[in-house]
């Protein structure tokens, strides 16, 4: 999940330090953080990530101190707290179990961080299995708890238009790496698109080079078939997680006819979300971008 990116970055930065890692291994009800969420704790008290959004972090930090001092890996469970007592728990009404283990050969081996990042960089998933009896984690899919680390989510926007500016901003807030592709240099400027990757190649070349995977969305926004259609054809040639095209129902029907004439098969045509986005009655670039972002996130979760 995207929220664990900061934990992986911290593990890289703190390599060589003594650390403990906390992982949400089960949830029930209105749990504040999903299974697989991490919090990494360094021996100097610094930490990165979250297992409950703040509800039980203090108790987890205390447990991590014990583990760093030599205590065995342990699973802590938390339920509803008594609001009238100084009790650690979850006010949201859910329940979670959190495994706290050392970052070591006897727990979560430090080399696992490198293996996870290598797999993600190659656009593949990586499974880590944990045996609760020993507290050890290892590569594989057989264990009491298996955490899958998927490739980082990416958004490829084709057409550096006003909606693209709003959509890029939303993606940035969601922690999604964003590329904006447009061969028209006047549209593609750092001033208009701060904090994203700009690409002025022809869209089909750029999309093909990015090798979109199930954690990648490709959204065409230019309204120009010479720009959008080649990008869609390139996106559909890969296992792209979300493919969408802006336009009316009438323009989308014409688009499908053009793509079919270009050789795109029916099964791939049905993969295109067109008109792009969830129907929320959007008016204006910001609301249209919001509807597209929501559809993209929904698609990512559906494939998870």
Q: Which H or E element spans position 115?
A: helix 110-121
CB 291 within 8 A of CB 304: no
CATH code for the structural domain at 154-303: 3.40.50.720
Q: Residue 194 corresponds to which tokens in the numbers above?
A: 């701060």
Q: What is the pLDDT of residue 290?
A: 97
What is the percent of the chain where pLDDT is above 90? Answer: 78
CB 199 within 8 A of CB 138: no
pLDDT in tens, 12-28: 999 999 999 999 999 88
Q: What is the mean pLDDT of the chain?
A: 91
Residue 1 pLDDT > 80, yes or no?
A: no
Residue 2 DSSP class:
G
Residue scoring higher pLDDT (133 or 82) = 133
Q: Which of 75-79, 106-110, 219-223, 262-266 has the lowest mean pLDDT?
A: 75-79
pLDDT in tens, 88-139: 656 666 788 999 999 999 999 999 999 999 998 888 889 999 999 999 999 9
**86 band by pLDDT with thresholds 50, 70 and 90:** very low
The residue extents of the domains of the chain are 2-149, 154-303
Residue 43 pLDDT > 60, yes or no?
A: yes
Q: What is the pLDDT of residue 198?
A: 97
Residue 43 Cα to chain centre, angstroms: 28
Q: What is the DSSP string of 218-257?
A: EEE-S--HHHHHHHHHHHHTTT-SEEEE-S-HHHHHHHHH
Q: What is the pLDDT of residue 250?
A: 94
CB 4 within 8 A of CB 151: no
CB 74 within 8 A of CB 59: no
């Amino acid at each position: 999940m995207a929220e664990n990116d900061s934990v992986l970055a911290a593990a890289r930065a703190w390599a060589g330090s003594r650390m403990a890692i906390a992982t949400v291994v089960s949830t029930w009800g209105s749990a504040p953080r999903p299974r697989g969420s991490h919090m990494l704790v360094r021996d100097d008290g610094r930490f990165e990530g979250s297992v409950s959004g703040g509800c039980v972090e203090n108790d987890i930090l205390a447990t991590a101190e014990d583990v760093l001092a030599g205590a065995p890996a342990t699973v802590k469970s938390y339920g509803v707290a008594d609001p009238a007592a100084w009790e650690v728990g979850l006010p949201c009404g859910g329940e979670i179990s959190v495994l706290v283990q050392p970052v070591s050969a006897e727990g979560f081996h430090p080399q696992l961080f490198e293996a996870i990042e290598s797999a993600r960089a190659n656009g593949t998933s990586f499974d880590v299995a944990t045996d609760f009896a020993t507290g050890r984690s290892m590569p594989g899919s057989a264990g009491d708890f298996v955490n899958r680390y998927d490739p980082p989510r990416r958004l490829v926007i084709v057409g550096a238009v006003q909606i693209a500016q709003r959509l890029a901003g939303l993606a940035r807030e969601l922690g999604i790496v964003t590329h904006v592709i447009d061969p028209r240099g006047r549209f593609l400027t750092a001033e208009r698109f701060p904090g994203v990757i700009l690409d002025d190649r022809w869209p089909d070349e750029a999309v093909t080079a990015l090798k979109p995977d199930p954690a990648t969305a490709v959204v065409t926004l230019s309204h120009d078939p010479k720009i959008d259609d080649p990008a869609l054809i390139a996106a559909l040639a890969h296992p792209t997680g979300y493919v969408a095209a802006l336009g009316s129902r009438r323009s989308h029907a014409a688009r499908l006819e053009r793509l079919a004439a270009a050789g795109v098969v029916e099964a791939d045509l049905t993969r295109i979300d067109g008109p792009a986005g969830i129907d929320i009655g959007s008016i204006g670039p910001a609301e249209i971008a919001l509807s597209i972002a929501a559809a993209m996130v929904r698609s990512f979760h559906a494939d998870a």
